[in-house]
Amino acid sequence: MMKKMGLNEIRKAFQDFYVSKEHYKQKSFSLVPEKDKSLLIINSGMAPLKPYFAGLEKPPAKRMTTCQKCIRTGDIENVGVTTRHGTFFEMLGSFSFGDYFKKESLTWGWEFVTKVLNLPEDKIWVTIFEDDDQAFDIWKNVIGIPEARIVRLGKEDNFWEIGTGPCGPCSELYFDRGEEYSCGHSSCKPGCDCDRYVEFWNHVFTQFNKDENGNYTPLAHPNIDTGMGLERLACIMQGVDSIFDVDTIKFILDGVEEISGVAYGNGKKSTDVSIRLITDHIRSVTFMIGDGIIPSNEGRGYVLRRLLRRAARHGKLLNIKGTFLIDLAKKVIETSKGAYPELEEKRDYILKIIETEEDKFSKTIDQGTEILFKYIDEMKSNNKTVLSGEKVFKLYDTFGFPLELTEEILKESNCSADVESFNEYMLQQKETARTARKNMDTVGWVEDDIKIQIKRQNEFVGYETLEEEATVLHLIVDNEEVDRVATGQTATLLVDKTPFYAESGGQIFDTGVLEVVDSKDGVLAHVLEVKKFKNTFAHTIKVLRGELFVNDKIVLDVNREKRNSIARNHTATHLMHKALKIVLGDHVNQAGSSVTDKGLRFDFNHFEAVTYNELKKIENIVNQEIISFKDVGTKNMTIEDAKKEGATALFGEKYGDEVRVVSIGDFSKELCGGTHVANTGYIGSFKILSESGVSSGIRRIEATTGLNIKENLDECEILLDNISDVLKSNRDTLTTKAENILDENKTLKKELENLRKESLGNSLTDITKDAEEINGVKLITKSFEGLEANDLRDISDQVKKDLSTYVLVLANVKNDKVNFLVSVSEDLLDKDYHAGKMIKEIAKAADGGGGGKADMAQAGAKNPAKVPEAFKVAEELIQNM
Q: How far is CA 3 from CA 10, 13, 107, 108, 640, in A?
A: 10, 12, 21, 19, 35
Among 33, 80, 229, 506, binds ligand ATP (CB under 6 A): 229
Q: How far is CA 397 from the centre of its chain?
A: 15
φ, ψ of residue 416 to 5 degrees: the values are -145, 175
Residue 389 sits in the site that holds ligand ATP (CB under 6 A): no
Sketch the per residue contact string, 675 through 714, with ligand ATP: x for CB under 6 A, - otherwise: ----------------------------------------
Residue 72 within binding range of ligand ATP, rule CB under 6 A: yes
Find the binder of ligand ATP among 99, 132, 176, 231 (CB under 6 A).
Answer: 231
Using CA atoms, how far apart are residues 489 and 868, in angstroms rounded to an integer?
Answer: 77
**From 131-139, 177-185, 200-208, 610-618, span contacting ligand ATP (CB under 6 A):** 200-208
> What totals of helices (H) and strands (E) does the chain contain, helices first?
24, 35
User: How far apart are alpha carbons 679 and 412 in whole angstroms?
Assistant: 65
CB 154, min distance to ligand ATP, A: 14
Q: What pairing do the DSSP bridges indicate for beta strands 124-129 and 150-153?
A: parallel
Q: Give 435: exposed, middle or buried? Use CB within 10 Å, 0-12, 13-18, 19+.
A: exposed
What's the start-to-end Cα distance of the chain, in Å?
A: 113
Binding piece for ligand ATP, criterion CB under 6 A, among 196-204, 256-264, 565-573, 869-877: 196-204
**Residue among 252 and 632 whose Cβ is closer to ligand ATP:** 252
Least Å distance, CB 455 to ligand ATP, is 35
Q: CA-to-CA distance for 623 and 611, rounded, in angstroms? A: 18
For residue 47, give Cα distances in angstroms to 175, 453, 665. 25, 22, 40
By CB under 6 A, how many residues form the interface with ligand ATP? Answer: 16
Residue 818, strand partner residues: 813, 861
Binding-site member from 132, 176, 199, 357 for ligand ATP (CB under 6 A): 199
Binding flag, residue 196, ligand ATP (CB under 6 A): no
506 lines the binding site for ligand ATP (CB under 6 A):
no
Residue 213: Cβ within 10 Å count: 6
With CB under 6 A as the contact rule, which of the stretches 227-235, 410-418, 721-729, 775-783 interacts with ligand ATP?
227-235
Looking at the Cβ atoms of 46 and 392, the one nearer to ligand ATP is 46
Q: Report if residue 228 touches ligand ATP, rule: CB under 6 A.
A: yes
CA nearest 306: which of 315, 296, 320, 321?
A: 296
For residue 456, the tally of other CB atoms under 10 A from its CB is: 13
Stretch that binds ligand ATP, among 55-63, 84-92, 417-425, 870-878 (CB under 6 A): 84-92
Q: Which stretch binds ligand ATP (CB under 6 A): 222-230, 659-667, 757-765, 873-881?
A: 222-230
279 binds ligand ATP (CB under 6 A): no
Residue of 511, 598, 524 whose CA lies nearest to 559? 511
Q: Locate all alpha helices (DSSP H) within 400-558, ordered by sequence.
A: 403-412, 419-438
Backbone angles phi, psi at 154, to 5 degrees: -80, -175
- In angstroms, give the least distance from the CB of 71 to ligand ATP: 9
Min dist CB 561 to ligand ATP, Å, is: 53
Considering only the stretches 142-150, 197-205, 348-356, 580-588, report the one whose residues sit in contact with ligand ATP under the rule CB under 6 A. Answer: 197-205
Question: Based on CB atoms, which residue is closest to ligand ATP, 157 or 408?
Answer: 157
Q: In the complex with ligand ATP, which residue's Cβ is closer, 232 or 563? A: 232
**Among candidate residues 90, 115, 87, the one with its CA nearest the CA of residue 11:** 90
Q: Which is nearer to ligand ATP, 75 or 132 (CB)?
A: 75
What is the rounded radius of gyration, in angstroms, for the C-alpha atoms of the chain? 39
Supply the minimum distance, in Å, between the C-beta of residue 4 and ligand ATP.
20
Is residue 75 at the binding interface for ligand ATP, with CB under 6 A as the rule? yes
The answer to whether 765 and 794 have CB atoms below 8 angstroms apart is: no
Of 223-231, 262-270, 411-419, 525-533, which part binds ligand ATP (CB under 6 A)?
223-231
Residues 624-643 that bind ligand ATP (CB under 6 A): none
Q: Kindly indicate which of the ranges 85-93, 658-666, 693-701, 765-773 contains the residues binding ligand ATP, using the contact rule CB under 6 A.
A: 85-93
Min CB(111)–ligand ATP separation in Å:
18
Indicate the residue among 153 and 843 with the shorter CB distance to ligand ATP.
Answer: 153
The 3-class secondary structure across 315-370, one letter per residue, is: HHHCCCCCCCHHHHHHHHHHHHCCCCHHHHHCHHHHHHHHHHHHHHHHHHHHHHHH
Q: Give yes or no for residue 86 binding ligand ATP (CB under 6 A).
A: yes
Q: What residue number has its CB nearest to ligand ATP?
A: 229
Q: What span, in angstroms and rounded, lies between the C-alpha atoms of 835 and 855?
A: 6
Residue 748: how many other CB atoms lie within 10 Å? 10
CB 49 within 8 A of CB 57: no
* Least distance CB 160 / ligand ATP (angstroms): 8
Residue in 171, 170, 161, 153 with CA at minimum distance from that of residue 209: 161
Q: Which residues touch 241 (CB under 8 Å, ≥6 apart)?
A: 83, 235
Smallest gap from Cβ 254 to ligand ATP, in A, equals: 20
Told to check if 85 binds ligand ATP by CB under 6 A, we report yes
Nearer to ligand ATP, 175 or 604 (CB): 175
Binding span for ligand ATP by CB under 6 A among 5-13, 100-108, 224-232, 777-785: 224-232
- Minimum Å gap between C-beta 29 and ligand ATP is 16
Q: Dihedral of the CA atoms 868, 873, 876, 880 (nearest 10)?
A: -170
91 near ligand ATP (CB under 6 A): yes
- Binding-site string for ligand ATP from residue 30 to residue 59, where x marks contact by CB under 6 A and - marks none: --------------x---------------
Kindly list the distances between the CA atom of residue 58 and the CA atoms of 63, 98, 535, 546, in Å, as whole numbers in the listed order: 12, 12, 12, 38
Span from 226-234, 307-315, 385-393, 544-552 in contact with ligand ATP (CB under 6 A): 226-234
**Secondary structure of the chain: what % helix, strand, coil (to 5)?**
45, 25, 30
Does residue 843 touch ligand ATP according to CB under 6 A?
no
- Smallest gap from Cβ 181 to ligand ATP, in A, equals 14
> In the complex with ligand ATP, which residue's Cβ is closer, 31 or 351?
31
Q: Which of 28, 30, 66, 202 binds ligand ATP (CB under 6 A)?
A: 202
Q: DSSP class of residue 687?
A: E
Strands 88-96 and 216-229: antiparallel
| Closest distance of CB 284 from ligand ATP, Å | 11
Instruction: Tell me: does residue 190 bind ligand ATP (CB under 6 A).
Output: no
Report in angstroms how near the CB of residue 201 gets to ligand ATP at its nearest: 6
43 vs 819, which CB is nearer to ligand ATP? 43
8-state DSSP, 485: E
- Taking the complex as a whole, the smallest distance from the CB of residue 68 to ligand ATP amounts, in Å, to 10
Nearest alpha-carbon partner for 108 in 99, 54, 52: 99
Chain residues 106-125 in contact with ligand ATP, contact rule CB under 6 A: none
Per the CB < 8 A criterion, the answer to whether 311 and 282 are in contact is: yes
Counting contacts by CB under 6 A, is residue 578 touching ligand ATP?
no
Task: Report the C-alpha gap between 201 and 625 in whole angstroms.
Answer: 56
Q: What angle do CA 276, 277, 282 make, to 5 degrees?
A: 105
How do 668-671 and 480-482 pair as beta strands? Answer: unpaired
Positions in the binding site for ligand ATP (CB under 6 A): 44, 72, 75, 85-86, 89, 91, 199-202, 227-229, 231-232
